[in-house]
Amino acid sequence: MNIRLGRIVVAATAAQILAVLIWTAILLLYGWTHGAAVQQFAYQDGPWFGLVSRVLLCAAFGFWAARGAKRPVLTAACVGLIGAVVTALAAATLAFGPNAPLTPLLVSIPAQFVGGGLGGWVAGKMRPSAT
């Protein structure tokens, strides 16, 4: 079984870090133009941006990790699984905070797994057939 553990870990880590970096850049630009309204914007839209961006990034990095693998869907699903575990840990830490927006995080857990698997499925479809 050709599981690329190094690529899986790099892809899952990069997907999570890149989601945070993109959101930070958006907040910096929004804060630059809207001033104090950035806190409300971050609290209101941040969890949903995190959901969408992490799913898309898990799919993209899952595709990257699964290229050329013998079982691309399994490889990419592992990327989504690691991303889902990281999100579950984040949700567990937020559960202790007041007024924590847990719904986007809880939806993100299975969605990242599906996103990673989808990236692997696309990578498998793009592979030339053995016939």
Q: What is the DSSP string of 63-82?
A: HHHHTT-SSHHHHHHHHHHH
Mean pLDDT score of the chain, rounded to an integer? 77
Mean pLDDT of 3-27: 83
Mean pLDDT of 51-67: 84
pLDDT at 93: 65
120 sits in the region (left: phi over 0; alpha: psi -120 to 50; else beta) called alpha
pLDDT range class, residue 94, cuts 50, 70, 90: low
Residue partners of 124: CB distance under 8 A and separation at least 6: 66, 72, 73
What pTM was estimated for this model as a whole? Answer: 0.76
pLDDT at 17: 86
